Amino acid sequence: MATDNLAEKIPDFNSSAAPKGGNGPVDVTALASIRRAKGFKEIISVLALAVVVVTLLEFILIWSNTEAYVFPKPTAIIQSLFTDFSTLYREPLIQTVQTFFLGLLIGSTIGLSLAVLVTLKPKLDIFISPYIIILVTTPMVALIPFLMLKFGFGITPRVIAISLATGPMVMINSATGFRRTNAELIALGKSYGATEFQLFRKIRFPFALPMIIVGFMVGSIFGLLTAVGAEMVGGGMGLGNRLIYFSSLVQMAQFGAVLVIVATLGVGIYSFFTFVNRKWASWDV
Amino acid sequence: MTQAIRIKITDVSKIYQSETKTVEAVKNFSESVKDGEFVCVVGASGCGKTTLLWCLSGLHPVTLGTVHIDGELLTKPLPDRVGMVFQDSNLLPWLTLMQNIELPFQIKKKPVNHELVEELLEVAGLKGFENSYPGELSGGMKQRGSIVRALAQDPEVLLMDEPFGALDAFTREEMNLFLLKVWEQTKKTIVFVTHSISEAIFLADRVWVMSPRPGRLSRIVDVNFERPRHIDLQFEPRFIEILKSIRKDVEGSKARQGN
């Protein structure tokens, strides 16, 4: 495309900036660099393709006489979303979102604090990191049965699991961001007599911000996975529980509707952090 | 001329110690810099010239010996008296040029000296770019910006660590002329580290030649060319003569080290 070629020729003065990549054990930062549709025309064509795919799916399901319990028609799902929203979906949605936000708040606060701690006291890192790796690599949903024995069927076990899923992600990415800070920038700050706190506030934190935002994005997505997964395991609340419920009753249109809501939540989280990244950390892109 | 001594370096040694080895980066270095003098430090890479500069800035403590600035023993950075310019412009990419220049004032909790900043921006040819982000500026402009940031603090001493090392030859010449212009106007004391011998001769009143491992002062060359200097100076025989002689020293010290 003509515009793309033009963009390539504009000199990039930033090419010698801080090295990208090598973002610690969990490199999911690529999520932040997926190309977005630009301009009205591109958005329209992306939407048009989506409509075509969904319509095609609808017709294939009609022509092949597929029963609703095998695969629900898109129209049935959309209809259920509109007619049953307040009766079937609103309450579980609110429950899931509340649990998710509570877990994210607790997890990310702890994660960010730990990241600051290991930045200021690097020696602690070797003691903390192994546990963080274990937490990152273990699916926190697996803890739910155990946590329910301990804390009952309420919101507590799920909030704990979500915190454990989000916190380490926020921590790893933030710590990597803090550590990546150019040594010369720190020297510059010191040569102007900056205190440790000033160095942190004026240089380390803004420098790490893009990585922190990515940490929050990945953490939130892991948190949502854990929230829905945990609800599927037990507790009788939230969207995850509805998935189990509708599939066991073979109400596949309703099942599909819940799935669409969950997917929308995920995309919403992704879009939100992409927006935040562009707003406050565009210099790094 | 009886000029006051700005920087006095007495028997300075700097030893870096890591887990596996000990490096004697600078050894028994003694010299002084007069007020308003432009000193360039040259030498093969790894000869300790950057280490020496960092010792003068107070960012790295010396292992042995002393550094005095205006008679005061240096133990930590002196933000009001000594400015530092690095090889990379080190402008913070999330701040505009103006915000970058104002940052040191904020760190020191002092009001911004707008008059001086405006004047420096004018000299640096950066008027109209105050609200640009570093990513939108060329390499030369960024480096001029970082020099403006340092000079806006009105330090008596400016320490420069290969500030033009990353620039292309033409931009580098431009920057040399810019720096000389600023220096002639402000009469700061400058210690300028470079690996380019011709740059050193072109800029300096005196060139300190260092020999590596351990880094020592091997020779001091007085450069008495008239000022203001013209860019064609570097093609004149008297310039080339000094260039050759320093070059021989640096190469010689490299060859000795290779044995």
pLDDT tens per residue, range A115-146: 999 988 888 888 888 888 888 888 888 888 88
Which of A66, A86, A116 is the C-terminal boundary of a domain? A66
Q: Which of B90, B139, B142 sits opposite A184 (nearest CB)?
A: B90
Which of A254, A258, A253, A263 lies closest to A240 in space, CA to CA? A258
CA distance B152 to B130: 14
CA distances B245 to A151, B47, B109, B250, Å, are: 82, 18, 48, 9
Picking from A12, A192, A280 by the largest number of B CB atoms within 10 A of its own CB, the best residue to mutate is A192
Give the CATH fold of the B1-36+43-77+191-259 domain: Rossmann fold (3.40.50)
Which residues have CB under 8 Å from A4's CB, separation 6+? none
CA distances A285 to A14, A19, A202, A280, A281, Å, are: 10, 12, 20, 11, 8
CA distances B188 to A152, A216, B88, B151, Å, are: 73, 48, 21, 9
CA distance A231 to A159: 11
Whether residue A45 has pLDDT greater than 60: yes
**Domain check: are A192 and A52 in the same one?**
no
**Domain check: are A169 and A218 in the same one?**
yes
The pLDDT assigned to B127 comes to 87
**Domain check: are A166 and A268 in the same one?**
yes
Tell me whether residues A190 and B59 touch, CB distance under 8 A.
yes
If one compares A47 and A23, the residue with the highest pLDDT of the two is A47
Chain B CB within 8 Å of residue A45 CB: no
**Domain check: are A100 and A223 in the same one?**
yes
CB B141 within 8 A of CB B164: no
3-state secondary structure of A115: helix
Write the pLDDT tens digit of every residue in B24-75.
Answer: 888 888 899 998 899 999 988 878 888 899 999 988 889 999 999 988 888 8
The pLDDT assigned to B123 comes to 81
CA distance B121 to chain A (A): 20
How many helices (H) does chain A have, and how many strands (E)?
Answer: 12, 0
Chain A CB within 8 Å of residue B112 CB: no
**Domain check: are A176 and A226 in the same one?**
yes
Write the pLDDT tens digit of every residue in A95-107.
Answer: 999 999 999 999 9
In this structure, what token pair is assigned to residue A190?
A: 């010191």
Tell me whether residues B79 and A192 touch, CB distance under 8 A.
yes
Indicate the number of domains in chain A: 2
CA distances A28 to A25, A36, A169, A219, A234, Å, are: 9, 17, 10, 10, 29
Which residues have CB under 8 Å from B16's CB, separation 6+? B22, B23, B25, B51
Complex ipTM: 0.83
Dihedral, A106, A107, A110, A112 alpha carbons, nearest 10: -120
The pLDDT assigned to A31 comes to 59
- A191 contacts on B by Cβ (under 8 Å): 57, 59, 77, 79, 82-84
Which of A46, A66, A86 is the C-terminal boundary of a domain? A66
Residues, chain B: 259
Which of B162, B157, B257 lies closest to B216 in space, CA to CA? B257
**Domain check: are A254 and A234 in the same one?**
yes
Q: How big is chain A by its Cα radius of gyration, in Å? A: 23
If one compares B20 and B38, the residue with the highest pLDDT of the two is B38
The pLDDT assigned to A3 comes to 39
First-to-last C-alpha distance (Å) of chain B? 43
**Domain check: are A104 and A237 in the same one?**
yes
**Domain check: are A134 and A205 in the same one?**
yes
CA distance B250 to B151: 32
Tell me whether residues A14 and B135 touch, CB distance under 8 A.
yes
SS (H, E, C) chain B: CCCCEEEEEEEEEEEEECCCCEEEEEEEEEEEEECCCEEEEEECCCCCHHHHHHHHHCCCCCCEEEEEECCEECCCCCCCCEEEECCCCCCCCCCCHHHHHHHHHHHHCCCCCHHHHHHHHHHHCCCCCCCCCHHHCCHHHHHHHHHHHHHCCCCCEEEEECCCCCCCHHHHHHHHHHHHHHHHHHCCEEEEECCCHHHHHHHCCEEEEEECCCEEEEEEEECCCCCCCCHHHHHCHHHHHHHHHHHHHHHHHHHHHHC
φ, ψ at A28 (rounded to 5°):
-115, 15
The one-character DSSP state at A18 is S
Tell me whether residues B92 and A14 touch, CB distance under 8 A.
no
Whether residue B112 has pLDDT greater than 90: no
What per-residue string of b and e applies to B162-174 under the rule 16 or more CB within 10 Å gives b?
A: bbbbebeeebbbb
CB A239 within 8 A of CB A92: yes
Whether residue A18 has pLDDT greater than 50: no
CA distance A219 to chain B (A): 24
Which residue in chain B is spatially nearest to A18 when comparing CA positions?
B93
CB A261 within 8 A of CB A227: no
CA distance B60 to B201: 27
In the block, tokens 């900036």 appear at A17
Indicate whether A157 belongs to any domain. Answer: yes
Indicate whether A150 belongs to any domain. Answer: yes
pLDDT-derived band of residue B257, with 50, 70 and 90 as boundaries? low
Whether residue A5 has pLDDT greater than 50: no
Which residue in chain A is spatially nearest to B136 when comparing CA positions?
A13
Chain B CB within 8 Å of residue A189 CB: yes
What CATH number should be reported for the domain holding residue A131?
A: 1.10.3720.10
CA distance B234 to B199: 9
The pLDDT assigned to A249 comes to 92
**Domain check: are A57 and A148 in the same one?**
no
Mean pLDDT of B190-205: 92
Write the pLDDT tens digit of every residue in A236-285.
Answer: 889 999 999 999 999 999 999 999 999 999 999 999 998 888 888 777 65
Share of chain B above pLDDT 90, in %: 34
CA distance A186 to B92: 11
The pLDDT assigned to B23 comes to 85
CA distance A174 to A213: 8
Q: Which of residues 182-241 of B touch A (CB under 8 A)?
A: none
CA distance B90 to chain A (A): 6
**B221 DSSP β-pair partners:** B207
Indicate whether A1 belongs to any domain. Answer: no
What is the domain extent for residue A143? 76-284
Tell me whether residues B93 and A284 touch, CB distance under 8 A.
yes
If one compares B19 and A240, the residue with the highest pLDDT of the two is A240
Share of chain A above pLDDT 70, in %: 86
H/E run at residue A34 = none
Indicate whether A225 belongs to any domain. Answer: yes
CB B42 within 8 A of CB B104: no
Cβ burial of B40 (10 Å; 0-12, 13-18, 19+) is buried
**B10 DSSP β-pair partners:** B66
Write the pLDDT tens digit of every residue in B145-187.
Answer: 998 999 888 898 999 999 988 888 888 888 899 889 889 888 8
The pLDDT assigned to A217 comes to 93
The pLDDT assigned to A20 comes to 39
Mean pLDDT of A47-58: 93
The one-character DSSP state at A283 is G
Chain B CB within 8 Å of residue A252 CB: no
Indicate whether A133 belongs to any domain. Answer: yes
